[in-house]
Structure 1
Amino acid sequence: MGRNYDIISTYCKGIYSVGPGNFWFVEGEKLGDDRRWPYRLYTFILIALYLMLTILEILAVFFGDFPEKEGGDAFTLAVTHVIVMMKIFTVISNKEIIRNINKNMIEHCKKYEKPLVMENMYRTVKINVTVYVLIVFVSLACFIIEAIKKSFEGSNFSTVTTYYPSYYDTSLTANVFGFFLTLVVIMMMLTMVISVDSYTMTNLIMLKYKFITLRGYFEKLWDKFDKTSNSGNLYKAAENLTNGFLEGIIMHNQLLKLVQDVHAAFGMVLASQLMLSTGSAVFILLQIALSKQITIINVTKLALFFAAVIILLGLFLCNAGEITYQASQLSNAIFYCGWHLCPILPPPHRNLRQLVLHACTQAQCPPVMKAFKMIELTYATFIQVLRGSYSLFALIYTRNK
């Protein structure tokens, strides 16, 4: 069926297993019915548990009694999990758009996808997703290790800082509830990683390779035209080029619409991650720099958490920027398709020169994804976030020294 089909079907199975629903575009073809009451109950229980955890973290920020380090963790995790819940609800609410995206991501340009390009895409997806998943769950492992360490030092077992159980409550009930909340966090991370973050990233990568495929298609038009015209049949070569060029324009318009759909479905995910990464980066650096009682395990935990939010933002922005870059490369491929060597064909054939002018004009305005309709999601924005975060950290750190 092709790499796109394999990737999307695998994701749909994973998303179905962690609760958000059936995102496959053919109802009942590969997965179960997410409208049946057992599955709806399963989804409701998971979302209710995630909300309970988030509310307990928010209460801990406003009403909890914790040492300095745990107070900082409470604020960081509360903000993080609020944004995680926003991202999960965004994906669930856009289920029908995402189903259509899945269908079009498989079908658009499918006929012209080259095995080598698809293997490169598959390798890029694997590398991006693997790096992100490893950093997230190694960071989570550090939270669990620190919870075990604290339980041996007289505190309760808790990987997150919540209003209940209290930090000073060492009863069996508190430890059991803390262990239960750890399981909720693990499931929440699975839902976030599979159905939101890595899935968004994968869609951006696949869309980038769609534009690479389209560029290769336009470049191939010149080879076909040159081969046919050299055989002595210039009229036939011009006719084939015109028909092929029309098909290329159709595919280009399909991809531009697909970019709009991806932005509509995942734009809030990208914008939320931009806010989370920017704020978390500054706050975590300040925790590490200003905390007077901080252990190596806690430094490692915060550093890995910092790496996770920054790496995810980098993967989002760089892949979104790649879509703009690859789309901008189409204008050259379109212009050098061989139109200038073609004779003008009589009606009902379309005027190839006008088609080229229209297509070049359109390609010179490549799609740019934006957060909050203002901030461009590109390489430059990622660098600005890093510089801005460090500058803000340096300013606050200097004033507090």
Structure 2
Amino acid sequence: MVHSRMPGCVRFSIQWSDIHKPYGLSYPHVTNGGSKFINGHVLFRMGKLSESVCYSSTEASNRSNDTSAETCHHKGVRYYRIVLPVLFVDKTFTTTITIWPDADDDGNLAAAVRIAYYMIWWVLVSRSTNAYILAIATTICLSHQFQNLQSYFYSLERIFEDNELNQLEKEVKYEKSLKVGIKMHSDTLWCTRQCQIVYGIVYSGQIVISVTGLAVLMFQMLNSERTIPNTLAIFATAFTILITNGINMWSAGDVTVEATSLATAMYSSGWQNCEGAASVRIRQLLLVAMTQAQKPVVIRGCGITEMSYGSYLSIVKSSYSIFSVIY
């Protein structure tokens, strides 16, 4: 039934009686000399998926008498061999294609090995996913902690608005509250340093994956066939990499932004309402705290790259630079 076969092309001449249509499928065809030609479709024969058919669009009426193979490409055959049986032949949808067993192997040993593969796969995926979730959640908590500190220092000025206390009691209460805020700031900085130690490898891995992944996708787009499925797959992968990297940069960059605003909140805490010796003590204490708060709080990946909004664009540019240098 197969007229000819060449690399990259399979040509069929199939009688209509060979095609079974139990699934209500519609096959565009051309009739000539009792033969039916299925153009650009995956064929179902005897209830199983056969191979795709490729023909040129010219001289369709003479195809049944032409025994020469025509050059064509059907890279989507493997995709249809997996997806279409799920829709029409009651097959399973296999997302992870292993070297062995094959997707069509329904044996007991194959099923047991496939279960083991999936268990190992889930362990690896869950570990990496949980690492990202913990890193993002921790940096979000840190950024909100710096926001809480800002609100706390801004609220200290209300102490001097309490008419039930005299000036001395107000100064004592303000100084005590100021020391509490400075202690909380010190604890938050310690948590930030611990976050850098614990999640530094996560951020470093994310940067390396983003740069290399985008560069590889550029090479793939340059060397692959210009088809809509290939383009959509490349853009979907690139979009996923950019979104994942952006979420990490966003949450870690918020820590830097909120920590930068803390010195202004300390300055606006109401120290100018103090008088005499209390004013000198509080100004000296506040000067040390503001000096510490003005130091940039930065979470880094790979030891050098700041996890910030500006670094997000730098990573994208680095991927294109690698692509330009190699190509």
Bin for the TM-score computed over the shorter chain: 0.5 to 0.7
* Per-residue Cα deviation, 1:285-317 (whole angstroms, up to 9, x for no partner): 322332128662x54444333222221211111
Contact 2:101/2:110 (8 A) holds in 1 = no
* Per-residue Cα deviation, 1:193-249 (whole angstroms, up to 9, x for no partner): 2x2112211111111000000010000001222x12x56722221111101100000
Q: Partner amino acid for 2:100?
A: P
Q: Partner residue of 1:280?
A: 213
Contact 2:175/2:282 (8 A) holds in 1 = yes
The Cα shift of 1:148 comes to: 2.2
Contact 2:203/2:302 (8 A) holds in 1 = no
Distance in 2 (CA, whole Å) between partners of 1:172 and 1:310 is: 38
- Which one of the candidate residues 333, 338, 351 is aligned to 2:265? 333
Distance in 2 (CA, whole Å) between partners of 1:389 and 1:308 is: 15
Q: Partner residue of 1:234?
A: 167
Aligned pair 1:259/2:192, yes or no?
yes
The Cα shift of 1:258 comes to: 0.3
Aligned pair 1:270/2:203, yes or no?
yes
Name the CA shift for 1:181/1:269 in 2 (closer, same or farther; >3 Å): same
Q: Partner residue of 2:319?
A: 389
- Which one of the candidate residues 297, 312, 327 is aligned to 1:367? 297
TM-score (norm 2): 0.64
The Cα shift of 1:172 comes to: 4.2
Matches within 5 A, 1:2-401: 148-149=82-83, 159-160=95-96, 164-165=99-100, 171-172=105-106, 176=111, 177=113, 181-182=117-118, 184-193=120-129, 195-225=130-160, 227-228=161-162, 233-292=166-225, 296=229, 299-345=231-277, 351-393=281-323, 399=327
Name the CA shift for 1:286/1:243 in 2 (closer, same or farther; >3 Å): same
| SS of match in other structure, 1:367 | coil
Name the CA shift for 1:221/1:390 in 2 (closer, same or farther; >3 Å): same
Contact 2:249/2:309 (8 A) holds in 1 = yes
> Larger RCO: Structure 1 or Structure 2 (Cα < 8 Å, ≥ 6 residues apart)?
1
The Cα shift of 1:328 comes to: 0.8
Q: Partner amino acid for 1:149?
A: V
Q: Partner residue of 2:62?
A: none
Q: Partner amino acid for 1:213?
A: N
* Per-residue Cα deviation, 1:261-307 (whole angstroms, up to 9, x for no partner): 111111111111110111111112322332128662x5444433322
Distance in 2 (CA, whole Å) between partners of 1:283 and 1:150 is: 30
| SS of match in other structure, 1:351 | helix
Q: Partner amino acid for 1:310?
A: L
Distance in 2 (CA, whole Å) between partners of 1:247 and 1:263 is: 25
Gaps of 5+ in 1: 1-66, 68-143
Contact 1:147/1:157 (8 A) holds in 2 = no
The Cα shift of 1:378 comes to: 1.1
| SS of match in other structure, 2:276 | coil
Distance in 2 (CA, whole Å) between partners of 1:239 and 1:187 is: 56
**Richer in helix (by share):** 1
TM-score (norm 1): 0.53
The Cα shift of 1:394 comes to: 5.3
Name the CA shift for 1:359/1:370 in 2 (closer, same or farther; >3 Å): same
Distance in 2 (CA, whole Å) between partners of 1:198 and 1:172 is: 36
Q: For the aligned residues, what is the CA RMSD?
A: 3.4
Contact 2:101/2:114 (8 A) holds in 1 = no
Distance in 2 (CA, whole Å) between partners of 1:340 and 1:304 is: 56
The Cα shift of 1:330 comes to: 0.6
Contact 1:335/1:360 (8 A) holds in 2 = yes
* Per-residue Cα deviation, 1:5-45 (whole angstroms, up to 9, x for no partner): xxxxxxxxxxxxxxxxxxxxxxxxxxxxxxxxxxxxxxxxx
Distance in 2 (CA, whole Å) between partners of 1:366 and 1:145 is: 51
**Richer in strand (by share):** 2
Q: Partner amino acid for 1:238?
A: E
Identical residues among aligned pairs (%): 23
